Structure 1
Amino acid sequence: MRQSLRTTDIVEHANALPGWRQRYDQLSCGSLEGRLDVVQAGEVQLFRERLNQQVIQHICLPQNAVNILFPLAWPGVDDQGVMAEKYATVLLPNDEYRVFTPAGMDVLCMSIPYATLRNLLDEAVLHALMQLNRPKRVCLRAHRLVPGIVMFKSLMEGTPTSATLQSLTLMVVEWLERVIDVPQETPRPSTRGYIVERCHQWLIEEPAASSNVLEFCRRLKVSRRTLQYSFQSVAAVTPIQYMRSVRLNGARRALKEDPHASIADIAERWGFSHSSYFTLEYQKLFNELPSALRCVERS
């Protein structure tokens, strides 16, 4: 389901978001220009909200869901220490929030039910997350957030695919596991090495398969935290980073072997269904565009 609203009425704007109880009070003078775009993809809700005036937002969040906000534009400083450009913020449905949004505000939000996270997030992390009693800023470097924002915008502007939505959801899960502190179990060194080796083999044997962290946990019969710790210990990266890098290297080899092949086809062959996301991650890893390698090989 997709819906869009453009309005000059602050009350209409506040009441337009499905599942949210909100009251907005306009602070700055002038005509309001509000815009709200909402996509409901299964149980996950995505929306983008823009307002040209300063507003006090009184918000009761949807129950039984975690809400991740990405401010694209947040002029000025948030004295509450919750919102800031280039950071994500986790909001939980524990209480009513009163947020002072600046004129020119532009935010993305992803609302994920606990039931969905229960199948993705480590149980200890989910429990700690549900105990949070105030908003938590996801303090990750901007370059880690950019791929998620790119996918988010793509989902908002195009036709949401299950693969892209799953990729974005798993990326959010990775962010949460980075910022929520819980005690870690420590597998033996030999076990860690075995876990990484088996995952690597599966990636090479099944490059186009939609294998993800959950699938590898199921195959190996280990928890997400064990998988995470093993990759951090052996390769100093997360499982998602490792899998992405192996696939990108495989795609690069394929481009070198057949420079006349379609970049999109090779990307899909190596598990990247979203071409702009593939290009962004490829450039970040190799400091060049996929097309640059193809031009060199053709010459």
Structure 2
Amino acid sequence: MNEHSRKQAPGAGGLSLHSTLIDHAAIQAAVQPWIEMECFQLSRGKRLGQLDCLDLGNTRIVREYQHATVQKIGATPGNLCTLSFCTLDRDLRFSEHDAGDADTVFFLSENSEFDIHVPAGVQTTYISLDQDEFLSAARVLNPAQWETAPQGVQPLRSNHKALFSDAVEIWFKTASVAARQGGAMDADVMRRLLLQTMLQVATTTIPDDAGTVPAAARVRALRICRQACAFAEDRLEADDLPTIVDLCTAVGVSERTLQYAFRSYVGMSPLVYLRLLRLNRVRTTLIEASPGEMTVTEAAMRYGFLHLSRFARDYRHAFDESPSETLAA
């Protein structure tokens, strides 16, 4: 279901460079196994985007470009943190935070849950690091800021965001040229240089008089929707289709409050979100099934699509292919 190419620089000591064209949300999660993650497609498109990854052992540079809107829900493992930046887009959401401004980068700590809404047309870039190593050096450079490690997602306004962007381009270009020409590269040297660059980005920040605490309404919307989505996921796992009444009851809010929360959370109504969630489930089922094991009708009805012609129309609109094409691939 995906096109995948890998370039390897000989003698690189574990360094690898690969680029993946993403045509299913599960692939976007699967090619990043170092972070527990589940992805959902939320806008139309057969192809979700492209992911480029430069793997330096325990440090990775990942660049993702979205052709279709995607939601990424997951958690970082122990002793892995990330620094990231993204295309400025008013509809992007990194947990309870928006994309910030031209100086914003994001720190995500170890053992932290995240919920990211990435609109079509947005590019996100992150670098995963050994958190113990990163924090040990950051505390030396800026003890006032880093003595106590931030928890969860922390937006930082950096004087050196451009340095971050330039470093990513340089590292990808260098690795690509080496792979193409067969030159040897020392992954450990590249990793140490990249760490020093990221320390400069993260420890030289711009004071923010307004503070970094998000608006209370946005935090509440995130909490409401995360509870509602977890409830919906549990019901779908049990082959029981959740309704809006079920969601309101489970979370303890009115339908109007739920509507406002989902508009802030993913830019759509809870009803549309639930339908897309079920369509994603059907697509995953069809991809994982052999044609003799499952029919399109069985998969559709399992997730509550009883009007099969409308289901087929909505499925094609979401994924730019028919359900039978997905099953046969």
Q: TM-score range by the shorter chain?
A: 0.5 to 0.7
Other-structure match for 2:39: 24
- 1:53-64 to structure 2, matched below 5 A, reads 53-64=68-79
CA contact (8 A) 1:78 1:84 kept: no
Pairing 1:158–2:174 present: yes
- Alignment of 1:128 with 2:148, yes or no, is yes
Offset at residue 180 of structure 1 (A):
10
SS of residue in 1 equivalent to 2:120: coil
Say whether 1:117 aligns with 2:131.
no
SS in 1 for 2:167: helix
- CA distance in structure 2 between the aligned counterparts of 1:7 and 1:180, rounded to whole angstroms: 36
Query: How many residues align structurally?
Result: 176
The letter for the 1-side match of 2:122 is: M
Q: TM-score, normalised by structure 2?
A: 0.48
The separation in 1 between residues aligned to 2:37 and 2:112, in whole angstroms, is 13
Amino acid at match of 1:156: F
Distance 1:88 1:16, change over 3 A: same
Structure 2 CA distance for aligned equivalents of residues 149 and 6 of structure 1: 22
Aligned ranges 1:1-299 → 2 under 5 Å: 1-71=16-86, 73-78=87-92, 80-84=96-100, 86=102, 87-118=104-135, 120-122=137-139, 124=143, 126-129=146-149, 132-141=150-159, 144-159=160-175, 165-179=191-205
Cα deviations by residue, 1:220-242 (Å, 9 ceiling, x for unpaired): xxxxxxxxxxxxxxxxxxxxxxx
Asked whether the 8 Å contact 2:90–2:98 carries over to 1, the reply is no
Q: Residues 85 and 36 from structure 1, CA distance in 2 versus in 1: closer, same or farther, beyond 3 angstroms?
A: farther
- The 2-side partners of 1:180 and 1:112 are apart by 22
Query: How far apart, in 1, do the equivalents of 2:120 and 2:100 lie?
Result: 14
Alpha-carbon RMSD across the aligned residues, in angstroms, is 2.6
Cα distance change, pair 92–112 in 1 and its aligned pair in 2 (3 A):
same
- Call closer, same or farther: CA 1:84–1:30 in 2, change over 3 Å: same
Q: Which runs of 5+ in 1 are unaligned?
A: 182-299
What does the per-residue CA deviation read over 1:196-255, in whole Å, with 9 as the maximum and x for residues that have no partner?
xxxxxxxxxxxxxxxxxxxxxxxxxxxxxxxxxxxxxxxxxxxxxxxxxxxxxxxxxxxx
2:227 match: none
**For the structure 1 residues 151 and 163, does the alpha-carbon distance in structure 2 shift closer, same or farther, using more than 3 Å as the test?**
farther
Q: 1:10 to 1:118 in 2, by over 3 A?
A: closer
Unaligned runs of 5+ in 2: 1-15, 176-184, 208-329
- Cα 1:59–1:74 change in 2 (3 A) is farther
Report deviation, 1:164: 5.4
Answer yes or no: is the 8 Å Cα contact 1:76–1:102 preserved in 2.
no
In structure 1, what is the Cα distance between the partners aligned to 2:69 and 2:122? Answer: 8
Counterpart contact for 1:77–1:84, Cα < 8 Å: no
Whichever residue aligns with residue 151 of structure 1, its letter is: A
How far the C-alpha of 1:8 sits from its partner, in A, is 1.1
Asked whether the 8 Å contact 1:82–1:137 carries over to 2, the reply is no
Q: How far 1:110 moved relative to its partner?
A: 0.7
Q: Percent identity?
A: 15
CA distance in 2, matches of 1:17, 1:6: 13
Q: CA deviation at 1:105?
A: 1.8
| CA distance, structure 2, for counterparts of residue 62 and residue 2 of structure 1 | 23
28-37 or 45-54, which moves further after superposition?
Answer: 28-37
TM-aligned CA deviation for residue 75 of structure 1: 2.8
Between stretches 115-124 and 1-10, larger displacement belongs to 115-124
Higher RCO (CA < 8 A, seq sep 6+): 2
